[in-house]
Amino acid sequence: MPNGNIVVTEERGTRVITLRRPGKKNAITQEMYREMSRAIDTAQNNPDIRCMIITGGSGVFTAGDDIDDFMQADSNSETLSDGARFLYSLALNVKPIIAAVDGASIGMGTVMLFHCDYVLASTAATFSAPYIHLGLVPVGAASLLMPNTMGYQRAFAMLVMGRTFTAAEAHAAGFVNTVVSAGHTEVEARKVAREICRLPAEAVATSRRLLRAAPEDLTRRIDQETHLFGERLKSDEAIAAFNAFANRKKR
């Protein structure tokens, strides 16, 4: 059902979570984090839901956190708690998640992909986690998952240098399974979902659990990163970066 900027639908055993805020390039607000968490959490004990798809629709995945929304929230409460709740939902999730990325995937948009099980990207997709440019550090267990998935050097380039990866580079790095034509990610994601839904559910769940990092390792790293992120928000570097952003918005 539509719910603000997050639309949740179900189709043939698959729950589809769609970010729908096109005027803001699907930038994620605290309310959107809460809605996505709810969509993931309520699927956990529902046997009718065999897998999930996260998509931003055609032309964009997400620009990451809505900076205006982020700056208005208190750095010690809502900004971190809603994002952390969403990250915990991803870390503790037991159902396969497919991501359909058609366009820019920035910040949390890229981080969440490392919690997904199958990622489709269009040739127009780009990926970045430029927290460094705001004087901040990685979130969402990215400092654990990214080096494990694509190697230290590539993770350094993305997380410490703030570089952007193309779809081809993301595929070569191993965090994108398949690259498809622009506008076709959702169609292809539904094909993958149907393939997963035809498989024995318990065997899928057990195999997935064996392949993935232990949830307690993920939540421990999320907690560590969240603490450091909160400290960095108060740093001179971050304050200067956010002030510069606010001044650009006023021009």
pLDDT at residue 77 in the model: 52
State the Cα–Cα distance between residues 246 and 251, nearest whole angstrom.
9
pLDDT at residue 71 in the model: 73
State the Cα–Cα distance between residues 41 and 159, nearest whole angstrom.
28
Amino acid at 73: A
Pairing of strands 97-101, 104-106: unpaired
Average pLDDT over residues 9-30: 96
Q: Assign 79 a pLDDT band (cuts: 50, 70, 90).
A: very low
Average pLDDT over residues 119-143: 97
Mean pLDDT of the chain: 94
pLDDT at residue 78 in the model: 46
Instruction: Note whether 79 and 34 are within 8 A (CB).
Output: no
Q: Assign 62 a pLDDT band (cuts: 50, 70, 90).
A: very high
Amino acid at 161: M
State the Cα–Cα distance between residues 171 and 173, nearest whole angstrom.
5
pLDDT at residue 2 in the model: 47
- Kindly state the percentage of the chain with pLDDT values over 70: 95
Residue 27 has pLDDT above 80, yes or no: yes
The model's pTM: 0.94
Pairing of strands 6-11, 14-19: antiparallel
State the Cα–Cα distance between residues 29 and 200, nearest whole angstrom.
36
pLDDT at residue 4 in the model: 85
State the Cα–Cα distance between residues 243 and 231, nearest whole angstrom.
17
pLDDT in tens, 166-199: 999 999 999 999 999 999 999 999 999 999 999 9
Locate 111 and state its tokens: 């981080």
pLDDT at residue 247 in the model: 83
Residue 74 has pLDDT above 60, yes or no: no
HSE toward the beta carbon, residue 143, CA cutoff 13 A: 17
Q: CA–CA distance from 231 to each of 147, 188, 246 (Å)?
A: 23, 41, 20
Amino acid at 41: D
pLDDT in tens, 239-249: 999 999 888 87
Average pLDDT over residues 49-76: 86
